[in-house]
Amino acid sequence: MKFQIICTLCGMLIALVSGCGDEPEVVVIAEQPDEMIELSIHFSIGVEMGDSTEVFGSITDVCHDTAGQILVLDQTLCGVKVFSDDGEYICQIGRNGSGPGEMLMPLYVAGLNDGRILVHDPMNNAFISYDSTFSYLENISLWSNGPPLETCAVAGSSYAGVVLEFDMETDQPMIIRTLATYSVNREPDVLYYEDEVPFDFADFTSVLSSMMFSFSLTGDNQGRFFYSPTSSETYEVFAFNADGSDLFHITRDIPRVEKTAQEMEDEIMYVESWANRIGMQGVVIEWEPNPYRTFIKALGVDGSGHLWVARGTELKPVFDVYDISGAHLFTARLPVESGSWKFHIDSYGIIGWEEDPPDGFQKLYIIDFPVNS
């Protein structure tokens, strides 16, 4: 009975709402003026009408495969569109359905360093996996409450993410959140962090914030792992070596930034209309936006091993860039304003898209790394 309750609650919400060792070095960075490097958009993919290969219904996640090709997970399409590194359409992986290689409600896509591609589909309670030629391999169903959220590649065949479990036996039901690396088994290869937060199914905002919008994660092909708790109060990043030992912990003194009334109104409309559009049931859909912007909205590691931290406090996106010791190298800005920017950053480059574009249709923006970054 407990298993059925957990699967019902978790499956509906996730699908429908979109170590031991020495203490780490704490790198505290005081905010001070530094040189701002300006980023530029190399090209974009996406049109409002026309060639269907370049029309996106709802971009949910983006990544690169090991060949540097661009993988775009379109939740409306229930498929992954594949583009070359210069934006040429190649093919589509998967489609809507319950058969082998088909998807029901995909949330994340990850290109692993062993060449496999994983699509996180909680309605299938599985990762749907494909090989480097985009052929279906298998469904990976190891977890009772769905595969790890915020899936990202680390070294070899390993991937990291957030696994959710539920304790429904206590007076106050709790969500148990585990950040770890996995490869073959449901048990973690390396455990980085675990906590418990209250689970109030009647509180739409609390549930989504605790389950879906709780962490930003990234890894690199050396097995290092990085995460940042989603917060409007604290800017911090935790870094780990491949064996799980602490690498560094960054904090930065940046002023909090209040959202405008229009930002909060747009956020409420976007989240609530999305939940209603996809038919979410069993909870009152009332989103209460945080009045402050999130400090960090994305992490990624470039081809030089530098950690890129995308701030959420700026409408024209700002990226803080650090070396592998946690030392700050430079800051970069993309001079294109939007309140709903999302980013994927890896060794092949930066890909940006707007979650809720003002003109009503989504585009991918391929952003150049600075020279000698």
Q: Which two three-digit tokens encode residue 67?
A: 């060949």
Residues of the chain with pLDDT > 90: what percent?
Answer: 77
pLDDT of 25 reads 63
Query: What value does the mean pLDDT take over residues 32-49?
Result: 88
pLDDT of 211 reads 87
- Selection from 18-27, 67-76, 196-205, 279-288 with the highest mean pLDDT: 67-76
Query: Using CB atoms within 10 A of its CB, is residue 221 exposed (0-12), middle (13-18) or buried (19+)?
Result: middle
First to last CA, the chain: 54
* pLDDT, greater one: 304 or 3: 304
Query: What value does the mean pLDDT take over residues 128-142?
Result: 97
Query: What value does the mean pLDDT take over residues 270-287?
Result: 78
State the angle between helix axes of 2-16 and 204-211 in degrees (0 to 180), rounded to the nearest 10: 90
Cα(222)–Cα(306) distance, integer angstroms: 12
Domain boundaries, the chain: 2-367
Helix ranges restricted to H, the chain = 2-16, 204-211, 261-277
**Confidence check: pLDDT of 18 > 60:** no
Q: Which two three-digit tokens encode residue 105?
A: 């409600």
* pLDDT, greater one: 13 or 259: 259
Residue 249's CB: how many other CB atoms inside 10 A? Answer: 17
What are the residues facing 321 on neighbouring strands?
Answer: 308, 330
**Confidence check: pLDDT of 10 > 70:** no
Banded pLDDT at 14 (limits 50, 70, 90) = very low
Banded pLDDT at 140 (limits 50, 70, 90) = very high
pLDDT of 279 reads 65
pLDDT of 16 reads 36
* pLDDT tens digits for range 318-333: 999 999 999 999 999 9
* pLDDT tens digits for range 239-251: 999 999 999 999 9
- Provide CB contacts within 8 A for 88, sequence distance 6+: none
pLDDT of 310 reads 98
Cα(131)–Cα(286) distance, integer angstroms: 41
Query: Does domain 2-367 fall into CATH 2.120.10.30?
Result: yes
Residue 269's CB: how many other CB atoms inside 10 A? Answer: 12
- Provide CB contacts within 8 A for 319, sequence distance 6+: 39, 308, 309, 310, 311, 331, 332, 333, 334
Cα(212)–Cα(234) distance, integer angstroms: 19
* pLDDT, greater one: 2 or 55: 55
* pLDDT tens digits for range 58-105: 999 999 999 999 999 999 999 999 999 999 999 999 999 999 999 999
Instruction: Dump the DSSP string for 49-102.
Output: SS-GGG--S-EEEEEE-TT--EEEEETTTTEEEEE-TTS-EEEEE--BSSSTT-
Q: Which two three-digit tokens encode residue 231?
A: 């917060």
Cα(212)–Cα(207) distance, integer angstroms: 8
Cα(18)–Cα(287) distance, integer angstroms: 14
pLDDT averaged over every residue in the chain? 90
Query: What value does the mean pLDDT take over residues 167-189?
Result: 94
Query: Using CB atoms within 10 A of its CB, is residue 29 exposed (0-12), middle (13-18) or buried (19+)?
Result: middle
Banded pLDDT at 4 (limits 50, 70, 90) = very low
Residues of the chain with pLDDT > 70: what percent?
Answer: 89
pLDDT of 120 reads 97
Query: What value does the mean pLDDT take over residues 125-137?
Result: 98
Banded pLDDT at 7 (limits 50, 70, 90) = very low
